[in-house]
Structures are given as structure tokens and as C-alpha cells.
Amino acid sequence: MRSRIVITGMGAVCGAGRTPEAMLAAIVEGRSAIGPIGGFDTTGWPVTNAAEIADFNARALVDDRKLHKLIRRTDMVGIYAGDRAAESAGYAAYRDALDEDAANAFCDRTGVYVGSGAGAFENQYDFFPLMAAANGDLVKFGRDLPDTVNPMWLLRTLPNNVLCHVGIRNRLKGANACITNHSVGGTLAVIEAAEALRHGEADRALAIGHDTPIEPQNILYYDQCGLLSHSVLRPFDLRRDGSLFGEGAGAVALETEAAAAARGAPILGEVLGGGYVSEASGLLAIRDDGDGVVRAIEAALADAGIDAADVGMIVAHGNGTPLSDASEAAGLRRVFGDRCPPVTAFKWAIGHLIAAAGIVETTIALAALRARTVPGIATYAEPDPACAALPVASEARTPRSDVALVLCRGFAATDAALLVRATPA
């Protein structure tokens, strides 16, 4: 009998709010956080919309001002979500009441798994003033370097900064990973953390995903690859023309059932199982038959030991690109046939958070299950024959059970499926 992995805390931030419940409320009301980009001048740009965190306040997210010099925007949101999850799971309150040996053991047995967005372009722009002054002269570049570039530059750009600082701030010292696997990173953090707990590597672990992809150069590249919408993100709709970025982070605190019970931790839900595969078709290409989606879901169901009929709602990846949505619908059809539970998607309201997408959507899915609602997709209007018979809707429905399937797809033709159960609120 394998041990159950329970969820004892959550945290999330994105353009739609600073808690999963606030995000759910916005989605239920049909409010999208996607709007004109304020971070840079998009005059003349083909893509002008994204879901920014409009009132971004670094100090409100991370109280330690000294730390701000050592981290980037993506790290701020990741640390915020991780701290909130640790706080709501009651880590510090419990640990501080222990004697020193027991407190140290608690720290050593608490892990951190992070899906990090890595690979941003803007962090290297810090070298532009030096490069402009050197004008191609690398000797001058090398000589003037110490006077021009922040000595902590490399540390500020580490992809594993959230892992590092959430660890330091919360005294977490156990098993860990920083997964830099594009969109599936956050979901993989949950899957790997749950597996580590099942196999006794730790008693509890934070799983975090964070990303801030709304960068000019990134937007141009994605648009060049035909991935971005020039208007509205409409998952599964006939008129869909691409995705739009969002930014933010999500975190869940996972714990073995025994460890959670021993410290009387709150139980918000449970990670039932996960599945993850690649279609081996290169960085951008995906199959149109949904092969990866099918295999990921089947692996997740087998891992969880449940049937397709037990799934109460599906949070699709639904990124709004013509090919991804059609192949995702094809995959769902192959697994669930004509008995598919209500399907929804959240990116129309929060944008595509890339490495944070799957985990933020998992926290919203848990909030939705607890509120017993499958929120509608407000931008969904015209059914697409290519997504035929997929039970998506613009209005809210009721989940068939307390189990949600959350799908996540990423570059390198990767597909992840996560099954979670919510404890009634």
C-alpha cells in the first residue's frame, strides 16, 4: 500500500490575484487579467496584450529589501508563492515549538522542488552598456567589465534562485530539484516532489513553479513561431489564433499523510498521481493526434489507481494555439470518449505563465473543486469542429467528483498530467 500524499498549503500570484481563491473569483466572474502590456512600449507591435501583475510591488511580495538586489522579477513571484505555501502549511509555527534536534530533523526532512522559467533574454541586457562602449573590442569589454556590470550578475540570473532563497528563508534543507523544462516545469515539480515523498526521501516538500515571460524579445520570437494571438486568447474556439503570456508563480505544500497527521497539519487535498511523456518530435513540433496527451493521462490514471470515470473535471492546457488545442481535444476524446467530464481552461483569464502555468492552474483547480464549480471559459463562443464534442462551455458547471485532471504541455513536445483531489472546504 503506497503512502498518500496530501496537500497542506498553497500559494499563488499572477495578474488575476494573489491567492488561488482570488484568481478563481476573477475567473468565475468572467474577468480576464489580459490587457495592454504596460511594461514596454508596444506601439506598432503585432502582439500588444498579456496578463501582467499590474500592481507589482516587490516589497509586498518579498519583505527582505537586501534580497531584492540578488534576485529578478521571476524570483520575487516564486519566493512569494513558496513562502505563502510554507506559511499556510504551518511549517515555521510547528518547527519553532520543537527542541533543537527535532527542529533540525524537520528542516533536513523538508524538500523543495521548483519548476523555473530559466532562459530569459532580458537578464543579459545588463551587458549592453558595456558592449556598446566596447563596440566590438573584447579587450576593452574585459578590461571595463568590473566597473560596468553588477558583480552579483551571475547570481542574480541563476535559474535555481527560488530554490535557494525559499530554502534559506524557510530553513528547508532536504531533497530538492530545479526543473528547467519549459511549460511543464511547475507540474513536474509537483510530480517529482510527490514521488520523493512516496519513496521516503523527505517527509514534506514545497513544489513551486515561477516564470515571467513577458519580455519584448521573447514575445517577438513566440510570435515569429506563430504561437501568439493578435487579439484574444480563446481556448478551443473556432476563431482562436494563439496564446498570450501571463506572469506569476504557484506553490503547493505536499506531505506524507503520516507526517501531516503527526503535526496536525491542515489537509486541503491530495496528489493522486501524475504522468509525463515526450513525443520526441523536436522543440516546437507536436503530433496532431494527441499521442502525448493520451499517454500522459493514461500514465497518471494508472499511477493514481483510478479510472477515467472517476475524474470530475478537466483543466485543459488550452493555450489557444490552433494546433495545441486541436491535438489536446483529440487526445481527450481518445481517453474519455463520449463520457468526458466538464473541461475548462484558465489561460484565457491569467495568460500562459509558461513554467508556472501548470502549478498555478493546479492551485486554481483545487480552489474550484472546493467551491464545487467548473468555471466557464468566458472567451469561448464558437465551437471548432476540430475540437468536436469536447465538453467546454462559456458558463460554469458542476464537477462530477472531487478529482481534477490538470494538463500541461511544453516545448520539446512534452505532456504532463496531474490528478488531484480536494478536501471539501
Partner 1 sequence: MQQPRRRVAITGIGLVTPIGNDVRATWASLDAVRNGAAPITLFDASGFSTRIAAEVKQFDDEAITAPRRLLKFANRSHRFALAAAEEAIRDAGIAPTDDDAQRWGCAVGTGMMGVAYSDLSEVQRHSAPDGTIDCRKLLTDPSAADPLAFCRSQSTAGVALLTRRFGISGHATSVHTACASGGQAIGTALKLIRRGAVDRALAGGFDSMISPVGLAGFCLLSAVSTDNDTPQRASRPFDATRNGFVLGEGAGFLVLEEWEAAKRRGARIYAELAGDGNSLSSYRITDSPPNGDGPIQSMRAALADARATPADVDYINAHGTSTGMNDRSETAAIHAVFGDDAKRVFVSSTKSVMGHLIAAAGAVEVAICALAIDRGEMPVNANYRESDPDCDLNLVLERPRRQKVRMTLSNSFGFGGSNSCVALRSPELAGDTQ
Q: Is 43 in the site for partner 1 (CB under 8 A)?
A: yes
CB of 394 to partner 1, least distance (A): 34
Mask for 348-387, x = binds partner 1 (CB under 8 A): ----------------------------------------
Which range touches partner 1 (CB under 8 A), out of 5-13, 145-153, 232-240, 308-316? 145-153
SS3 179: strand
Report the residue number, 55 or 147, with the smaller CB distance to partner 1: 147
Q: Select from 124, 305, 389, 394 the one that contacts partner 1 (CB under 8 A).
A: 124
Mask for 258-287, x = binds partner 1 (CB under 8 A): ------------------xxxxxxxxx---
CB of 152 to partner 1, least distance (A): 8
Q: Is 140 in the site for partner 1 (CB under 8 A)?
A: yes
CB of 326 to partner 1, least distance (A): 20
Q: Select from 78, 82, 111, 209 the one that contacts partner 1 (CB under 8 A).
A: 111
Q: Is 161 in the site for partner 1 (CB under 8 A)?
A: yes
Contacts of 116 by beta carbon, 8 Å cutoff, 6+ apart: 74, 78, 159, 160, 161, 162, 163, 178, 179, 180, 185, 209, 210, 211, 355
Report the residue number, 63 or 395, with the smaller CB distance to partner 1: 63
Please give the full DSSP string across 254-293, using - where no structure is assigned. EEEHHHHHHTT----EEEEEEEEEE--S-SS---TT-HHH
DSSP state of 379: T
Which range touches partner 1 (CB under 8 A), out of 216-224, 311-319, 323-331, 380-388? 216-224
Letter for the amino acid at 269? G
Contacts of 372 by beta carbon, 8 Å cutoff, 6+ apart: 398, 399
Q: Select from 59, 69, 143, 239 the one that contacts partner 1 (CB under 8 A).
A: 143
- Residue 145 to residues 6, 125, 138, 140, 142: CA-CA distances in angstroms? 50, 14, 10, 8, 5
Residues between 221 and 250 with contacts to partner 1, criterion CB under 8 A: 221, 224-225
Report the residue number, 193 or 420, with the smaller CB distance to partner 1: 193
Q: Select from 58, 141, 371, 391 the one that contacts partner 1 (CB under 8 A).
A: 141
Which range touches partner 1 (CB under 8 A), out of 95-103, 217-225, 262-270, 317-325? 217-225
- Residue 24 to residues 12, 16, 200, 253: CA-CA distances in angstroms? 11, 8, 34, 19
CB of 379 to partner 1, least distance (A): 27
Q: Where are the alpha helices (DSSP H) in 1-137?
A: 20-28, 58-61, 65-68, 73-88, 91-95, 100-108, 128-134
SS3 206: strand
Residues between 310 and 339 with contacts to partner 1, criterion CB under 8 A: none
Q: Is 138 in the site for partner 1 (CB under 8 A)?
A: yes
CB of 371 to partner 1, least distance (A): 33
Q: How many CB atoms lie within 10 A of CB 155?
A: 13
Grid cell at residue 318: 488550452
Distance from C-alpha of 126 to C-alpha of 103, rounded to nearest angstrom: 41
Q: Is 31 in the site for partner 1 (CB under 8 A)?
A: no
Q: Are 209 and 249 in contact (CB under 8 A)?
A: yes
CB of 25 to partner 1, least distance (A): 33
Report the residue number, 8 or 116, with the smaller CB distance to partner 1: 116
Q: Is 41 in the site for partner 1 (CB under 8 A)?
A: yes
> Which secondary structure element, helix H or strand E, spans residue 392, and what is its range?
none
Report the residue number, 17 or 167, with the smaller CB distance to partner 1: 167
Handedness of CA 275, 326, 179, 257 (dihedral sign): negative
Contacts of 279 by beta carbon, 8 Å cutoff, 6+ apart: 286, 287, 291, 292, 413, 414, 415
Mask for 164-193, x = binds partner 1 (CB under 8 A): xx-xx--xxxxxxxxxxxx-----x---x-
Of the candidates 356, 94, 361, which has an alpha carbon nearest to the alpha carbon of residue 203? Answer: 94
Residues between 385 and 424 with contacts to partner 1, criterion CB under 8 A: 410-414
Q: How many residues bind partner 1 (CB under 8 A)?
A: 93
CB of 44 to partner 1, least distance (A): 6
